[in-house]
């Protein structure tokens, strides 16, 4: 038993940076955590990248030290510190790529893929088309508002609508004094995205102000 523990602990120490990167990624994005086997595989992939970066920085530091400039000793403590730093940077960088769609956008321009970095078409629509939406409810009512938050899946979760306005039968917004409205996605039949005349999210305050005056 003691021999098994002695073998497992170094393995866990080796994999911890990869698990830390995976934990950061799934904590900051809307992606579902895979099963145990999938998490181990992803941790191994992250660990491979991290250990490669540590190996590279170690080789560079030793080369710089051989030239007469040294700031310390390259040992197990230094490797652990660099592995921890790279695990943080890799996790945050993976989140940036997933939330910005920049990597997939570049690949789409080169016809290498048709996919986006977002976890689903549902999430992609809300992330890409930032504008007012109309929720069509199961009871035939409609509510217009700005989606501050939305469920990462269409089947469950809640919409947080800012400056909500119930729409009359003629499509005109009715007066409503609430600033936020929480609606369960189970009560929503479909979502209608309003046309974007401005085309810029940078003008969001004016958009909101105009709808506040309705």
Confidence at residue 211, expressed as pLDDT on a 0 to 100 scale = 45
Give the domains, in start order, of the chain with CATH numbers: 2-108 (no CATH), 121-212 (2.30.30.100)
| Count of alpha carbons within 13 angstroms of residue 107, beta-carbon side | 11
β-bridge pairing 158-166 and 142-149: antiparallel
Confidence at residue 6, expressed as pLDDT on a 0 to 100 scale = 67
Nearest to 161 by CA among 99, 109, 211, 101: 211
Tell me how many degrees the CA angle 179-182-188 measures, rounded to the nearest 5. Answer: 125
3-state SS track over 134-202: EEEECCCCEEEEEEEECCCCCCCCEEEEEEEEEECCCCCECCCCCCEEEEEHHHEEEEEECCCCCCCHH
Query: pTM higher than 0.85, yes or no?
Result: no
Residue 15 neighbours by CB distance under 10 Å: 17
Confidence at residue 89, expressed as pLDDT on a 0 to 100 scale = 96
Contact predicate 24/95, CB 8 Å? yes
Tell me how many degrees the CA angle 40-114-148 measures, rounded to the nearest 5. Answer: 75
Cβ-based burial of 128 (10 A; exposed 0-12, middle 13-18, buried ≥19):
exposed
Confidence at residue 49, expressed as pLDDT on a 0 to 100 scale = 95
Contact predicate 18/87, CB 8 Å? yes
Sheet arrangement for strand 133-137: 180-184, 158-166, 142-149, 133-137, 188-193
| Cα-Cα-Cα-Cα dihedral sign, residues 111, 115, 117, 121 | positive
pLDDT digits (tens, 9 = 90+) for 47-92: 999 999 999 999 998 888 887 777 778 888 888 899 999 999 999 9
Confidence at residue 86, expressed as pLDDT on a 0 to 100 scale = 95
Confidence at residue 92, expressed as pLDDT on a 0 to 100 scale = 95
Given a cut of 50, the residues of the chain with pLDDT beneath it are 197-214
Nearest to 162 by CA among 143, 177, 148: 148
């Amino acid at each position: 038993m003691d021999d098994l523990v002695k073998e497992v602990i170094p393995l866990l120490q080796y994999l911890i940076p990869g698990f830390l990167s995976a934990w950061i990624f799934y904590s900051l994005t809307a992606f579902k955590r895979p099963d145990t086997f999938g998490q181990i595989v992803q941790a191994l992939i992250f660990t491979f990248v991290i250990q490669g970066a540590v190996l590279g920085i170690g080789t560079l530091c030793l080369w710089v030290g051989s030239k007469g400039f040294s700031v310390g000793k390259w040992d197990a403590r230094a490797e652990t510190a660099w592995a921890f730093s790279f695990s943080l940077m890799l996790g945050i960088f993976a989140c940036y790529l997933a939330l910005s769609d920049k990597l997939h956008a570049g690949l789409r321009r080169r016809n290498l893929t048709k996919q986006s970095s977002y976890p689903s078409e549902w999430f992609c629509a809300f992330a890409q088309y930032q504008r007012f939406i109309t929720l069509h409810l199961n009871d035939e009512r409609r509510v217009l508002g700005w989606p501050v938050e939305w469920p990462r899946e269409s089947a469950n979760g809640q919409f947080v609508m800012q400056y909500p306005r119930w729409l009359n039968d003629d499509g005109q917004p009715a007066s409503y004094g609430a600033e936020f409205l929480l609606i369960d996605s189970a009560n929503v039949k479909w979502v209608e995205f309003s046309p974007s005349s401005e085309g810029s999210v940078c003008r969001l305050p004016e958009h909101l102000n105009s709808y506040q005056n309705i």
